Structure 1
Amino acid sequence: MDSAPSVSVAHELPFPFRQFIVKMHGRCNLACTYCYLYEGPDHTWRERPAAAPPGVLARTASRIGEHARAHGLTAVSLVLHGGEPLLAGADTLARFTDLVRGEVPASCTVHATVQTNSTLLTEERLTVLARHGIRVGISLDGGLSAHNTRRTDHAGRPSWPAASRGTRLIADRFPGTYAGILTVADPGTDPVELYESLLGLRPPALDLLLPHGNWSAPPPGWDSSGAPYGDWLCAVFDRWWDAGRRETRVRLFEECVALLLGLPAATESLGLAPFDAVVVETDGSIEQVDSLKSAYEGAARTGLDVFRHPFDAALRHPGVAARQAGIVALAPGCRACPLLSVCGGGNYAHRYRAGQGFTNPSVYCADLQRFIRHVAGRLAESAAPARPGSAAAAPSASCEGGTP
């Protein structure tokens, strides 16, 4: 097992957590064949209760309030997660959200979101969520049945009929509660067709993510001599950029543009802003984010829990410190790369290599370079439309990393 690197943190104090991901339910009603959480190397979910007990939720709410007061936070993000969180019941999600809002100072706003596969969305449940100010994010592989063939239930039945019904219900009847759609890039699909199919579901925002993989377990279709994921993202970016109007927000694209323009922005996949998310499991364990579970068994563990430890204790954990340390925690090649301020080394989990830990370039190094340079080129074209032949060249970078 590889531990987080020891780093010398440049800032005097850790940056507080502002995003609290709470596992409301630790099981899922789907059995997606590619799921890193249930089909990957980490099996710690089997050791934990299926649903978070009331005592865990009460203590978690208290700890969130404690952290908000200690750091003078004016806003926190509360992500109700799973598994499939709606298995816990919409009323349970609502009660917990109200509990958190009652624990934080009056000056602190709680932005609550539930991340669901959409199959359990009904008018009754959406009414409860909307009443309690909980927005709904939906996870799909695309906007067509053909895109979602790997998203089946435990009996092998397709989830798309229920998922599409739930998604259209929220778009039609509860647009103010609709947070958007999260989908994973898949070079095996037509990128423009997939993007346009998602537009048909009228999401106010899209999150396009790279599938979790690393140097020891490369993502599907990964090619050490090419950039298939970068090419896929570039095709979607061009469709989005050339639309002439904003059909929807695409966070990855907007953040990349902002970073290239020198504006403050960051996602887990781009930028150098300190990481500020923490997870509470159904048994009250305080953990690092789930993406680390794609690396090895126990990678997200901290040994802490909400009953015995404040969230400040997690800020001092070596893994969290490494993610907040910025440039000093990156591989030497990344620190010297001209794309560093935009790329930020990529998603932390994607840097893992067995025996070496996480101090490596991202397994998506070439893909990120391809995408960032393409976006930079499109920005340069827009800045000088009358001189198309003289657009400033995007920063160049050499791909470091090698093969698995």
Structure 2
Amino acid sequence: MALPRMRFEALLRPFEELREQGMIQHEIQTNATLITSGWCDLFARYGIGVGVSVDGPAVANINRRDWIGRPAFDRVMRGIGHLRDAGIEFTAICVVSPETIENTDSIADFFETLGCDSVGFNIEEREGDNGDRPQVTYDTARAFWARLIQRRRNGSHLRVRDIDRLFRYLGMVRAGRKATWAASKYDPIPTIAHNGDTVILSPELSGVSAPEYGNFVIGNVLREPLPVMLGRAHKVRYVQEFTTALNMCREGCPLFSFCLGAQAGNRYFECGTFAVAETNYCRNTRQALVMALADVAQEGDESDRIRQT
């Protein structure tokens, strides 16, 4: 969105026939600081899905600043106001840090009133330049997810991406469709840089210097078509390592049927290789979530027993 709006629209036009045929969907993830009513008109005209990055109330966004160090929160909320005024639905992504993760209720209250269609909670990860920060502990993550599930059980209408995904899996299992979930294709997530260099598996790998992996570049779209690159991707070293890791997860993790292997980038940024199974991301985002649901279910059973005595 740093591009002039007319230039952005010019880049969209070549894809319009495909969009009208339902073959592609445009989406944008933004901090909303540059959204105006004009941008909202463009979003509506091209059916662009909008996701907003905001970490909760103002105090939780202390690290979201512009390039000259000014707090961005007021401009984020102004941009969200433009979306709401234009009737444009949007989702939210919230990074939950070690400093904010124990403030579950205040964060959830914020998103309850924000007007977003749903929110995804990304527990702060070790990736890219964010390699020296303290990690959220498993127990803290488990308590965070448990509180969100409790709120939902108590009538909260806030849609949480991560909880929705778990409930969707459990619903398919109950309906005898577990095999359908397990057959889901792994999205290679091709990510194309400004110069055409293309990486796959994790957008966070784009621009990362890793000579041992060829900087994760599998080719360049200015020189060859994307399908050609994807067709030989199974021969790329980091893809082979990730495939090995998925097989390790499949063979050794009781939660694999739900998780399906989590993310590639977290393996590299946490361990320096893709050929590992369990990561801190896996523990905090997948394992802690499942166990939190078990905790809440057990609390409910105990409450029922107490009422019956």
Same fold (TM over 0.5): yes
2:52 match: secondary structure: strand
User: Would the aligned equivalents of 1:230 and 1:370 in 2 still touch at CA under 8 Å?
Assistant: yes
Report the Cα offset of residue 210 of structure 1: 2.8
Matching residue of 1:282: 194
Distance in 2 (alpha carbons) for counterparts of 1:334 and 1:191: 32
Distance in 2 (alpha carbons) for counterparts of 1:234 and 1:323: 33
Distance in 2 (alpha carbons) for counterparts of 1:184 and 1:158: 16
The one-letter amino acid paired with 1:88 is: L
Give the counterpart of 1:188 among 99, 103, 128.
99
Matched, 1:236 2:148: yes
Distance in 2 (alpha carbons) for counterparts of 1:213 and 1:187: 12
2:25 match: secondary structure: strand
TM (norm. structure 1) is 0.62
Aligned residues: 290
2:227 match: secondary structure: helix
TM (norm. structure 2) is 0.78
Matching residue of 2:223: 308
User: Would the aligned equivalents of 2:55 and 2:95 in 1 still touch at CA under 8 Å?
Assistant: yes
Distance in 1 (alpha carbons) for counterparts of 2:295 and 2:74: 40
Give the counterpart of 1:129 among 43, 49, 63.
43
Distance in 2 (alpha carbons) for counterparts of 1:203 and 1:136: 10
2:69 match: secondary structure: coil
Matching residue of 1:210: 123
1:95 match: secondary structure: helix
Distance in 2 (alpha carbons) for counterparts of 1:324 and 1:221: 25
Matching residue of 2:255: 339
Distance in 1 (alpha carbons) for counterparts of 2:192 and 2:198: 5
User: Would the aligned equivalents of 2:118 and 2:160 in 1 still touch at CA under 8 Å?
Assistant: yes
The one-letter amino acid paired with 2:61 is: N
Matching residue of 2:280: 363
User: Would the aligned equivalents of 1:199 and 1:248 in 2 still touch at CA under 8 Å?
Assistant: yes
Change over 3 Å in CA distance of 1:355–1:117 after alignment to 2:
closer
Change over 3 Å in CA distance of 1:256–1:388 after alignment to 2:
farther
Change over 3 Å in CA distance of 1:385–1:287 after alignment to 2:
same
1:109 match: secondary structure: coil
Give the counterpart of 1:151 among 64, 68, 89.
64
1:286 match: secondary structure: strand
Matching residue of 2:169: 259
1:155 match: secondary structure: coil
The one-letter amino acid paired with 1:305 is: N
Report the Cα offset of residue 112 of structure 1: 1.2
What do the CA deviations read for 1:108-141 (whole angstroms, capped 9, x no partner)?
A: 4322112111111111221122122223211112
The one-letter amino acid paired with 1:125 is: W
Distance in 1 (alpha carbons) for counterparts of 2:258 and 2:282: 12
Change over 3 Å in CA distance of 1:279–1:161 after alignment to 2:
same
Report the Cα offset of residue 260 of structure 1: 3.1
Distance in 2 (alpha carbons) for counterparts of 1:355 and 1:116: 29
The one-letter amino acid paired with 1:197 is: F
Distance in 1 (alpha carbons) for counterparts of 2:298 and 2:183: 20
Report the Cα offset of residue 376 of structure 1: 4.4
User: Would the aligned equivalents of 2:124 and 2:135 in 1 still touch at CA under 8 Å?
Assistant: no
Identity of matched residues, %: 20
2:219 match: secondary structure: strand
Q: Which has the higher contact order (CA 8 A, sep 6+)?
A: 1
Unaligned runs of 5+ in 2: none
Report the Cα offset of residue 356 of structure 1: 4.2
Report the Cα offset of residue 223 of structure 1: 6.0
The one-letter amino acid paired with 1:205 is: S
Matched, 1:250 2:164: no
Matching residue of 1:57: none
Change over 3 Å in CA distance of 1:249–1:322 after alignment to 2:
farther
